[in-house]
Structures are given as structure tokens and as C-alpha cells.
Amino acid sequence: MKALITILCLWVFAVPAISQFQVQTKWDGKQLALNPVWSRVADIYGENGSVESVEFSKDGRFIVSGSKFDNTVIMWRTSDGFEMWRQTLPQEIERVAWSPDGKMVAACSEDFFVRVFDAKTGQLLQEIEHHQGIDGLAWSHDGQFLASGEERSQDKNGQQQAFLTLFKMPEGKVWKQANFGETINEIDFSFDDQYVLAAGHWGKLNVYTVPDLVLAKEFRGDPKVHFVTARFSPDLKLIAAGDGQGNYYIWEFESGKLVTKFDRSGHKVEIVNWTPDGKYLATAGQDPFIRFFRTEDILAGHRIYTALQVHAGDQAEYLDFNADGSMMVSAHQDGVIRLWIFMSEDPTVNARRHRWVKEQQEKAAREREK
């Protein structure tokens, strides 16, 4: 009986504390979160493997990945992670890229080839040979060009050369080349396809016009470190980059002004990528965290707060968002790809989506009545 009274007293005194906690943490409808959906082994060597690249199809229904040690290109169904097909290449795969129409995927390998596959069947359609290993690969948003970036080499006169090349697709013929001079680690087209950037060794980042590959702008980081990743913001107002020492760089595109440079981990940054609405910058690298920064914080010029930090299980090599930004996929050094639902801080998203669906239904009903 005494024990029962003690338990009742503890419960009574605990209730106010719990209620007070609930009041203090009342949900206001705003949240920023990554909710895990599924994970799949994309490099069979697991911890001894690594997935270098992963990308959504434009309609978000499929995901393609490229691995470093088992040398496979794998097509996954987004809804359940089902493996549609796989192809094994002679050497490691650095990048994969979708054609905007969803009919083809390209993969670049250390064996000096870019290979193009039928996205539905995995059938090899084309091989495009290069002179050196290829680290950067991107498809223009209009589908006209496939861009590749080669590792550094020397010509017969001892001059450094590493080419950014535009291939006219689907022919796969060289359209234009620009000598970047240093190893190119990342390529990105602006959303209007007017520009393409190449980022690489010794703090070098160049922006070229498309389709003539004329040098338009130069952005420079610490000359002692290498740019590993870089991206245009969706509205073409900013460029974000990350280097091998853990530094993030944000520039104004038009003026070339460095808005900010900051470090969050002291570890190599493998990937920066903007959410499709441009409100957040997602980053990952040589620590087990995926981080999000608010673009408005970056532009405000004060201390850059980490809006979200998620322990992702292992170091991430690549991040990509589907077209509406509702999902994100990550590629990791433990040989796994992970699918996430991305929850923004906008509490009206779901309501706006319901309104859109209702409008479409009403529009369809009116069409039927005609």
C-alpha cells in the first residue's frame, strides 16, 4: 500500500511538469526536417565501397547511382527502392547524369569514357572517349548538351590542360572545348542554360557562356585548396562552392562579390546543392552530417546559422533533390544510397497542394461538361 501511494504521488507531481513542457514546445506549424524513407546498398563492398553520385529523373520516379569500387550504374525505382537494372563498368564511376526527357542516363568513368544508357532497359547506347579520367559531368536542362570535365594533363610543350567539353546530344559529337588548365571536379549548368561553371583544383572556378564556351566570369578561392563542388542558385543570383578544407564560399553571380566564406566542420566538403526553391543550401562531406543553411541568413551577412543538421549514418558524397524539392537522395561512403522526405519551414505547402489538386479536378469537370 505504501508503495502504491508513493507511485501515485510521483505521478501527480509529474503531471504539471509534463504539461508545462508541452506548452513550451507547442508546434507552430513550421518545421525543417529530413525524414528517412529507405536505404539501399549501391556498392556491394559496403564500408570498403563508396557511392560517388546519385540523381533523380526529372519526374522523380527513378534514381540512378554510380559507385566507386564495384563500378556499377544502378537504376532504382523511387517509390520502393526496387532495382530496375544495373551495368558494371571497367573502372570507378565518378558522376551520373539524367537527360531531361528521362530517356537516357550518362556515366563517366576513370577509364576515360562517358557512356550513355537507355534509362528504361540499361542498354548501352553510346561510348564517348576522352583523353584523361573524367570527374565532372552534367546534362543541360534543355537536353542539347552533355558537358564533361577532365583531369589535368600536360601537352607536348609541358603546358597544363584539362578540358571542359560540350557534346551535342544525342549525336555525342564535340561541340566546343575550353581549356580549364586544372582538374575539373564539378560542372553545373545555370537553370536557363545560358552558363556552365567548372570548378576544380587550386581554388579555381570559371563560368562560361553556352553554347560557345567563352569565359564570362572567374571566381577564386584559397589557391592552396581544391574546389570539390559548386552550384548556381536557381535564380542565378548566387554561386555556392565547397573546398577540400571544409570551407564554404558564396558569391554574388552578377558582381562577383564574395558574400561570405565559412567553415562548419573543418572537414572536406563533398557536395553543395540548393533546394529547388532556392531557400536552402544543403551540404555534406567528410563527417556524418547533412547540413542545411537558410539562404536569407547567408544574404543577411550576419552569423550563418545551421538551420538543420542530420546524422546521416556515414559520410555523404552527393545530394540531389527531386524537381519540387519534396524528396532528397544521398550517396554515401558506406556504399549506401538513402532516400529522404524533405520538410521545409513553410506550413502552407500541404494546403497549397490540396488547393491545386482541387483546381485541377474542377477544371477537368468543366471540360467534361462542355
DSSP states along 276-341: TTSSEEEEEESEEEEEEEEHHHHHH-S---EEEEEE-SS-EEEEEE-TTSSEEEEEETTSEEEEEE
Nearest-10 Cα torsion for 207, 211, 212, 213: 20
C-alpha cell at 10: 510521483
Percent of the chain at pLDDT > 70 equals 91
Give tens-digit pLDDT for 101-147. 999 999 998 899 999 999 999 999 999 999 888 999 999 999 999 99
Q: H/E element holding 48?
A: none
Distances in Å between the Cα of 242 and the Cα atoms of 28, 221, 368 are 34, 9, 53
pLDDT of residue 348: 75
Q: At 155, is the pLDDT very low, low, confident or very high (cuts 50, 70, 90)?
A: confident
pLDDT of 8 > 50? The answer is no
pLDDT of residue 29: 60
Mean pLDDT to the nearest integer, 310-330: 95
Average pLDDT taken over every residue of the chain: 89
Task: Say how far apart CA 70 and CA 93 lie, in whole Å.
Answer: 9
pLDDT of 339 > 50? The answer is yes
pLDDT of residue 18: 30
Contacts of 185 (CB under 8 A, 6+ apart): 135, 136, 149, 199, 200, 201, 226, 227, 228, 229
pLDDT of residue 30: 67
C-alpha cell at 314: 556515414
Percent of the chain at pLDDT > 90 equals 75
Q: Who has greater pLDDT, 25 or 314? A: 314
The alpha helices in the chain, defined as continuous H runs, are 2-24, 295-300, 349-369
C-alpha cell at 276: 529547388
246: left (phi over 0), alpha (psi -120 to 50) or beta: left
Q: At 302, is the pLDDT very low, low, confident or very high (cuts 50, 70, 90)?
A: low
Distances in Å between the Cα of 1 and the Cα atoms of 6, 9, 10, 14, 16 are 9, 12, 14, 20, 24
Three-state DSSP class for 97? strand
C-alpha cell at 343: 520538410
List b or e across 248-270, with b for residues whose CB sees 16 or more CB atoms inside 10 angstroms. bbbbebeeeeebbeeebbebbbb
Mean pLDDT to the nearest integer, 14-24: 34
Give tens-digit pLDDT for 177-194. 999 999 999 999 999 999
The full set of domains in the chain, from first to last, is 30-369 (2.130.10.10)
pLDDT of 157 > 90? The answer is no
Least confident of 21-25, 103-107, 347-351, 359-363: 21-25
Q: Who has greater pLDDT, 9 or 302? A: 302
Mean pLDDT to the nearest integer, 240-249: 96
pLDDT of residue 16: 35
pLDDT of residue 358: 83
Task: Say how far apart CA 362 and CA 348 lie, in whole Å.
Answer: 21
pLDDT of residue 96: 98
pLDDT of residue 202: 95
Three-state DSSP class for 67? strand
pLDDT of 15 > 80? The answer is no
**Which long-range contacts link 213-216 to residues 24+ away (Cβ below 8 Å)?**
213/164, 213/166, 213/176, 213/177, 213/178, 215/178
Least confident of 27-31, 158-162, 360-364: 27-31
Task: Say how far apart CA 58 and CA 330 lie, in whole Å.
Answer: 16
pLDDT of residue 46: 86
